[in-house]
Amino acid sequence: MEKSPGDGVIMELYKGPLADSLSHVSMFIKEYLEVGHERTFLPSFYADWYSKYASFPVQKDDTWVVTYPKSGTTWVQELVWCLINDPKSPEAELELMKRFPFFEIESLISPDFDKSLLREDDPMNSGNSWRILQELPAPRSIKSHLPKALLPEQIWQVKPKVVYVCRDPRDVCVSYYYHHVKLEGYAGTFNQFVDFFLADKVTYSPIWSHILTFWKMRHEEHILFLRYEDMKKDLAAIVRQVAGFLGKEVDEEQVAWLVHHCSFGEMSKNLAVNNETFMSASSEAAQKLKFMRKGTVGDWKNHLTEEQQKAFQAWTLKCLEGSDFPYYQDYD
């Protein structure tokens, strides 16, 4: 597929062997593009948004939370927002999507999708999220799942603060499967989803290059590289670390308040962040699932067969060749 002249970004419609099965993975997406040198897997209609995203004006006092999906984005967003703003103000009760917009959400939904199913003010409804972004007062907090190469170019010149979070790809795969059942109407099997994930043929894949580009930048002053597993281990330490990175002073009482507020139990009950107001697929399986599903480390052990674990290991070792990334290589 052609891209608008001058930007030089490769975009090719995916026509590989999985193309037919992939047209049933999401009710919003029928065809996919492979974009850029990393062949990032994105919906076909992303092509219409590429230039807008690349040229988006960035502000120095922005804070961007960037992740591969299902890595703990919502968790870190709430923490970051509460550190930058007054968490006891009425704004804190606004849906996260409105106070911390999802940068590229509109390029995830086909323009042909029947939007009458959505609430009028649903951030997924045409134009809403882009408008929220334009109207957002400074200092802005913005979420994105785009890989480094596809984020607004000004991020790398203006250098606003960027908080990156990664999670064990095995747990990401499990969580992403349930996400697809609940939010994208996926009716295929878990095993088939694992095949798509390991083939790097799910939206925003490949996950490893996504993680590794930020890992390489982790020592830059405007980048903070976090891991979901460290947040689970000692959230108080991460609260202090994120506060320090954002230049916010917090006393121990505030740290304890934030640890409680951002706990899985509290966030599950909090309508502003638990995404239960968000559209869900109509299937029985979807209705039974919660966005705040389990919130644990190592759920992959309950899902992946021995054969799938071996496939994950081979894929991981290949993707990590030549890298000093030390995590997620334990296979016992």
Site residues for ligand A3P per CB under 6 A: 67, 69-75, 171, 175, 178, 262-264, 267, 292-295, 299
Q: Phi first, then psi: what are they for 42, rounded to 5°?
A: -140, 155
Nearer to ligand A3P, 11 or 281 (CB): 281
Q: Phi first, then psi: what are they for 293, rounded to 5°?
A: -85, -65
Smallest separation (angstroms) from ligand A3P to the CB of 209 = 18
- The residue type at 199: A
Nearer to ligand A3P, 69 or 147 (CB): 69
Residue nearest to ligand A3P (CB): 295
Nearer to ligand A3P, 150 or 267 (CB): 267
d(CA 303, CA 19): 25
Smallest separation (angstroms) from ligand A3P to the CB of 295 = 3
Which tokens sit at 308?
Answer: 């799938």
Nearer to ligand A3P, 171 or 184 (CB): 171
Which tokens sit at 79?
Answer: 């923490």
Nearer to ligand A3P, 69 or 185 (CB): 69
Smallest separation (angstroms) from ligand A3P to the CB of 96 = 10
CB 125 within 8 A of CB 118: yes
Smallest separation (angstroms) from ligand A3P to the CB of 12 = 27
Smallest separation (angstroms) from ligand A3P to the CB of 148 = 17
Residue whose tokens read 């972004």: 133
Nearer to ligand A3P, 178 or 245 (CB): 178
Smallest separation (angstroms) from ligand A3P to the CB of 292 = 5
Which tokens sit at 47?
Answer: 């092509």
Total length of the chain: 332
Residue whose tokens read 């502003």: 272
| Three-state helix/strand/coil letters over 272-322 | CCCCCCCCCCCCHHHHHCCCCCCCCCCHHHHCCCHHHHHHHHHHHHHHCCC
Beta strands in the chain (DSSP E): 11-13, 32-35, 40-43, 63-67, 141-144, 161-166, 223-227
Nearer to ligand A3P, 11 or 82 (CB): 82
- Cα four-point dihedral sign 210, 216, 218, 220: negative
d(CA 311, CA 59): 42
Q: Which residues of 138-157 are buried (b: 16+ CB within 10 A; e: fewer)?
A: eebbbbbbbbbbbbbebbee
Smallest separation (angstroms) from ligand A3P to the CB of 41 = 17
Q: How many CB atoms lie within 10 A of CB 81?
A: 21
Q: Which residues of 234-254 are buried (b: 16+ CB within 10 A; e: fewer)?
A: ebeebbbebbebbeeebeeeb
Residues acting as catalytic residues: 145
